[in-house]
Amino acid sequence: EISDDDSPLIYGAPQPTADGRFPKARHILGLMGFLGFANVYAMRVNLSVAIVAMVNHTAIPETTNSTLDDVCPARGNDTDGGPALNGEFAWDESTQGIVLGAFFYGYVLTQIPGGRLAETLGGKMIYGVGVLITALFTFLTPIAAYWSLPALVIVRVIEGMGEGVTYPAMHAMLAKWIPPLERSKFAAVVYAGSNFGTIVSLPLSGWLCSVDFLDGWPLAFYLFGALGVVWFIFWMYLVYNSPSQHPRIQPEEKHYIHRSLARRDDELLDSTGDNSIPWRSIFTCMPMWAILVTQCGQAWAFYTLLTELPTYMDNILHFGINANATLSSLQYLTAWIFGILSSIVADWMLSKGWLSQKNSYKFWNSVASIMPSIGLVGVAWVGCNWKLAMLMLAGFGAFQGAIYPGNQMNHIALSPRYAGTMLGITNGAGNMCGFLAPYIIGSIIRGNETLSSWRGVFYLAATVNVAGNFFYLLFASADEQPWSKQRPQVR
């Protein structure tokens, strides 16, 4: 017999047998979720590349607090990968930090509401509309930029609000759809869409910025905005909130999911009755704080590279925009591959009983935090040797993919019922670091584009990341919390 919690499934109790037919309804959910995250991340990061082409760098005053050995020599045309671009906007580093960070104001704002709405109304509509809003305002980004700086900031904030609901909404759906022993690798596939979207968006946006049609850089926003609208149409037809609501799911798959989740049916999970959230219990739960703190550290390091690496490649290593964007994407390619592989290994180790679920979370989270931090320190020391810098980023950066078997599914273990809300809390807090990073980096650089200035940026990111992981090691848990086991009232 399968108990009400996930532990017997994780530690070796017999499991129901899955129907062998393919594709299954949950696989279609996984594919569409993957493409959705790929699209929203493409729309998020294209500005990191486009801003290199948008800004008129020659119009920005520079400080002279540097020596010859603190700057890198200019590259020849044979290695820069494209022409140097000078745009029409005279934005200094501080203003660029405001533009790049504006997205995160909206993104943080809708995290908790997105999770709660997904738990009560269902994740399908919340996730889908979130992607659609992001797509529509991405399409409007060039228009807003030409209009005024405040208009651009407002549009980016609204984009962030749309995308902010996607992660908690998907978490709420995974809690209803995915058996425990499939969660690590399934989450790796779905959430790795963010890496895939970054891999595609960075070089493609770089190429679009270099073409002459419509000034080049606006095309990066028009293309991905249009793709987001097309994705929304397919999502609304193919995906449903839960197995019990899916009209085309095979009975065998539906039974398998229900049995694996230890439910006779998913009535509890579908309930929209009186299901108040135990806010005090959640906010006094140390394992939840462990997730929050480590996600903050990982987000700081992640967004330091996501938003600022193209600028570093342009101003310090002197790469043209095409080579800049392509090389910047390498770490996301390696992280995508390692994320899927590590999740498969993690689920296999769990099925063999070699690691408890808690120790599995801690082990993989440490890999995802410590190894990329070593890479950041390495980049700070290799200086102008761009080959070693790329090796540090793409090699050590690959290990950030281990977040999927690390803390990413920890919310569902603590509370399947409130996983979406908890993800909203921790992801929202983590991404506050995301919008703080560009401002802090702008304050560190202050027009002084030197190796020593950027070393401070990389050291800070590595330190915050490792410190967050240490907190996670102390307080993380994989046990469902007592307040989560209380049954909601269904009227």
Mean pLDDT across the stretch 185-200?
84
Mean pLDDT across the stretch 77-90?
55
Least trusted range by pLDDT, from 86-100, 134-148, 363-377:
86-100
Residue 284 confidence class, pLDDT cut points 50, 70, 90: very high
CA distances from 488 to 53, 273, 404 (A): 53, 8, 29
For residues 78, 381, 293, 104, the Cα torsion angle rounded to the nearest 10 degrees is -30
Tokens found for residue 227? 């793709």
**For residue 264, pLDDT beyond 70:** no
What is d(CA 175, CA 201) in angstroms, rounded to the nearest whole number? 29
pLDDT at residue 36, rounded to an integer: 95
Q: Which CATH class is domain 23-62+86-485?
A: mainly alpha
Q: Is the bond leading into 23 cis (omega within 30 degrees of zero)?
A: yes
pLDDT at residue 393, rounded to an integer: 80
In the three-class reduction of DSSP (H, G, I as helix; E, B as strand; rest coil), residue 353 is classed as coil
Highest mean pLDDT among 1-5, 415-419, 433-437: 415-419
What is d(CA 259, CA 13) in angstroms, rounded to the nearest whole number? 12
What is d(CA 304, CA 116) in angstroms, rounded to the nearest whole number? 29
CA distances from 198 to 84, 174, 277 (A): 22, 23, 35
Beta strands in 406-489 (DSSP E): none
89: β partners = 55
Mean pLDDT across the stretch 220-228?
92
**For residue 225, pLDDT beyond 90:** yes
The H-or-E segment that residue 321 falls in is: helix 321-328
pLDDT at residue 230, rounded to an integer: 96
Residue 365 confidence class, pLDDT cut points 50, 70, 90: very high
Q: Please tell me which residue, 65 or 208, carries the higher pLDDT value.
A: 208
For the chain, first and last CA: distance in Å? 29
pTM metric for this prediction? 0.72
Q: Which of 246, 248, 245 is nearest to 272 (CA)?
A: 245
Least trusted range by pLDDT, from 46-60, 181-195, 448-462:
46-60
Least trusted range by pLDDT, from 96-110, 118-132, 151-165:
96-110
**For residue 229, pLDDT beyond 80:** yes
**For residue 20, pLDDT beyond 80:** no
- Tell me the H-state helices in 81-177: 93-109, 111-121, 123-147, 149-164, 166-177
